Amino acid sequence: MAEEGESYGWNRKGRRMRGFEPASGLLKDRIRTAGESRGFAVTRLLTHWPEVVGEEIARITRPVKVGYSKGAFGATLTVLVKPTDAPMVQMQLPRIHERVNACYGYAAISRVLLTQTAPMGFADGQALFSPAPPAEPVAMPPEIITQARETADGVHDEGLRNALETLAQNILTRRSKKEAEE
């Protein structure tokens, strides 16, 4: 327990005592520095992007840069978006503009621009988004399943037998596709 006159985490000499610290406290300065280098005066826009614009829009967009031009009132927010999602995001620009300014607390952003490539040094110019859900597995024809089971029939270890059945199914499926193409 801290003695009277001491605050939590500090000793009497004013030095910081090391111990368990929240991760946000350790990364706060690095996040602020990285954000300021891209023009983000309020790092909340970067760290809480889904809360600012909504989950649906945040899934397909990322804030990239806030640029300030000479003599112009307000800044320009550049948002990274995939080319396939750009038309949908374009329709949402007024909503994004309104919600971002609400995050700042005043009309800090005058324009929102969309880009399909990021500046160098930001994800190597590539859009980093949530991956698409995996495709539904294709049903195997019963004759391939039967052949694969017969191939791995003599193996006693269940895990190995299942792996061999899967391998056999893949090989047999590939063969049947090649034969169908010829």
CATH code of the domain covering residue 66:
3.30.70
7 has pLDDT over 60: no
The domain boundary residue, chosen from 125, 151, 171: 125
Q: What is the mean pLDDT of residues 56-85?
A: 84
pLDDT at 1: 46
27 has pLDDT over 70: no
CA atoms of 114 and 47, how far apart (whole Å): 19
Helices 158-181 and 142-151 cross at an angle (nearest 10°) of 130
Range of the domain at 88: 25-125
Tell whether 106 and 159 lie within a shared domain: no
Tell whether 41 and 67 lie within a shared domain: yes
Tell whether 96 and 158 lie within a shared domain: no
pLDDT at 138: 76
Tell whether 100 and 162 lie within a shared domain: no
Tell whether 118 and 72 lie within a shared domain: yes
Percent of the chain with pLDDT over 90: 13
Q: What is the mean pLDDT of residues 43-52?
A: 79
Tell whether 71 and 111 lie within a shared domain: yes
Task: List pLDDT tens digits, range 100-140.
Answer: 888 877 788 888 989 887 554 444 445 555 556 777 777 88
Q: Give domain status of residue 174, yes or no.
A: yes
Tell whether 105 and 42 lie within a shared domain: yes
pLDDT at 87: 92
Q: Give domain status of residue 7, yes or no.
A: no
Q: Give domain status of residue 8, yes or no.
A: no
Q: Which residue has the higher pLDDT, 83 or 30?
A: 83
Tell whether 35 and 117 lie within a shared domain: yes
* Residue 61 and residue 79 in contact, taking contact as beta carbons nearer than 8 Å: yes
Q: Give domain status of residue 61, yes or no.
A: yes
Percent of the chain with pLDDT over 70: 66
Backbone angles phi, psi at 123, to 5 degrees: 60, 30
| DSSP conformation letters of 8-59 | TTB-TTSPBPPS---HHHHHHHHHHHHHHHTT-S-THHHHTHHHHH-HHHHH
Q: What is the mean pLDDT of residues 147-163?
A: 90
CA atoms of 22 and 114, how far apart (whole Å): 35
Total domains present in the chain: 2
